[in-house]
Structure 1
Amino acid sequence: MKHLVLYAHPNPASFNHAILETTVKTLEGKGHEVVVRDLYDLNFAPVLNGSDFEAFQSGQIPADIKTEQDFVTDADVITMIYPVWWTGLPAILKGYIDRVFSYGFAYSYAEDGSINQLLKGKKGVIINTHGTPKDIYDSMGMTDALQKTSATGIFGFVGMEPLEYMAFGAVPLVDDATRKTMLTQIEDKLNSIF
C-alpha cells in the first residue's frame, strides 16, 4: 500500500516526531511505501486566500496545492500526526485541509445538493497528542468530539474510510517509559490494521 503521512509539529525533538518515526518504521517494515509531508519543514502556506478561489474556479490550481493533491491522489492511506492545540488541529494542518482538500478535488455538490465524495476508496488514520490527561478529555466528551470533527468531518466527508483514531494525553507530564508504551501501542495498532 501507498501511505501519505501528513506531519504537523514544529519541533524535531518532539514526541510527535517519535510517533512519526515509529509510524514510518512500522509501515516500511511491512513493505509499505511511505511518503512523509512535514508541513513545517515544507513551510506550507496554510492560508486559503481569494487568489486560491480564483485559481480553483479557472482550473489553474496553484503549484503548491497541485503538488499536494498529487500526493493525496497517489496514496491509498492518509495518516495525520499532530498535537491537539486549543482542541483542534494546528493551523498549518487545518490550512492544508482547507487548501488541498478543496472543492472539485476532494468533494463537490450534485445538482440535488448531495455531496459527491471524490476521495472514496482511500483510508485514513489519525494519531494525535495533547497535554490534558486522556481520562479528562474522555469524561468531558472532548475525545469523541475531536474524533468526530477530524475522522468523520474531514475523512468521512470526502469519502475516505476512517480506520483508526489514536489520541495520547498528558504527553508532557508522563515519564519516558509511558511514552515508550504509547509508541508500542501505535506500532501494535498499525501492525494490526495493515
Structure 2
Amino acid sequence: MKKLIVFAHQHQESFNRAILDQVESSLREKGQEVIVRDLYKTNFQPVLKPEDTDSMKVGKIPEDIKIEQDFISESDVIIFIYPIWWSNMPAILKGYLDRVFSFGFAYTMGDQGAVPLLKGKKGLIINTYGASEEQYESIGMNRAFKTTMDVGVFGFTGIEPVDHLLFGSVTTVDDLARKEMLGKVRETLNKHF
C-alpha cells in the first residue's frame, strides 16, 4: 500500500520542507511506497468553481480533482504537512480539501446524516507555526487545530487520525531544536507505520 504525503509550503528552504524530507526518507527506508503531492509544485488550482460542482453533480469529475482522488483511493495512509498561517492552513490546502474531499468521494449523506467514505485509511498531520507551543496551548489553539483537522476533516471522512504533531517557534529556535523536532517526526513514523 502507498503512503500519500500532501505538502503545502511554497519555499524549498523551509523547515516544512525538512519535515517532508524526513518523512519521505523515513518511510522509504522501511521499504514503503511514498507519493508526494507538493501542491505548489503541481500548481494545484484551489478555487472550487461552479463548473466543478456542476460537473460532479452529473458524475463527471474534473480531471485535476480525479487525479488527486485516485492518489487518496490508492493510499492506506494520508499525511498532511503544512504551516499554520493566521490560525489556519494555507489557502492552497483549504482549496485542495474543498475540491478533492468532495461529496460522493470523501463522504455522502444517509438517513442518519453524513456517511464517511474513506474508512480504513490512517492519517497523520504535521504542523509548524511561529508562536511558541506554550502560548498556543494556553489559549486553546493547539486543541482547535486538532479538532478542526482530526475530527472535522479526518473523522468526518472516516480517516483514522493516528497523531497530530505541532511544532512551535520554528522561526526562532536553533538548529538543535529543529533536529529534535525531526527526531520526533521519525519516532512518530516508526511508532505508527
When normalised by structure 2's length, the TM-score is: 0.98
Measure how far apart 1:193 and its partner are: 1.1
Looking at structure 2, the residues matched to 15 and 84 of structure 1 have their Cα atoms a distance apart, in angstroms, of 13
Q: Find the counterpart in structure 2 of residue 64 from structure 1.
A: 64
Measure how far apart 1:151 and its partner are: 1.2
Q: Secondary structure at the match of 1:42?
A: coil
The answer for unaligned runs of 5 or more in structure 1 is none
Looking at structure 2, the residues matched to 46 and 58 of structure 1 have their Cα atoms a distance apart, in angstroms, of 21
Count residues with an aligned counterpart: 193
- The 4+ residue runs of structure 1 with deviation greater than 2 A are none
- Percent identical across equivalent pairs? 52
Looking at structure 2, the residues matched to 86 and 168 of structure 1 have their Cα atoms a distance apart, in angstroms, of 15
Looking at structure 2, the residues matched to 126 and 117 of structure 1 have their Cα atoms a distance apart, in angstroms, of 19
Q: Find the counterpart in structure 2 of residue 173 from structure 1.
A: 172
Q: Find the counterpart in structure 1 of residue 191 from structure 2.
A: 192
Q: Secondary structure at the match of 1:98?
A: helix
Q: Find the counterpart in structure 1 of residue 108 from structure 2.
A: 108
Q: Secondary structure at the match of 1:88?
A: coil
Q: Find the counterpart in structure 2 of residue 134 from structure 1.
A: 133
Looking at structure 1, the residues matched to 148 and 108 of structure 2 have their Cα atoms a distance apart, in angstroms, of 19
Q: Secondary structure at the match of 1:132?
A: coil
Q: Find the counterpart in structure 2 of residue 86 from structure 1.
A: 86
Task: Give the AA of the match of 1:127.
Answer: I
Structure 1 position 153 matched with structure 2 position 152? yes
Deviations 1:109-135 (CA, angstroms, capped at 9, x unpaired): 01x242111000011000010000001
Task: Give the AA of the match of 2:77.
Answer: V
Measure how far apart 1:35 and its partner are: 0.1
Measure how far apart 1:2 and its partner are: 1.3
The answer for unaligned runs of 5 or more in structure 2 is none
Q: Secondary structure at the match of 2:119?
A: coil
Q: Secondary structure at the match of 1:4?
A: strand
CA RMSD of aligned residues (A): 0.7
Looking at structure 1, the residues matched to 122 and 155 of structure 2 have their Cα atoms a distance apart, in angstroms, of 9
Measure how far apart 1:190 and its partner are: 0.7
Looking at structure 2, the residues matched to 153 and 35 of structure 1 have their Cα atoms a distance apart, in angstroms, of 24
Looking at structure 2, the residues matched to 118 and 165 of structure 1 have their Cα atoms a distance apart, in angstroms, of 21
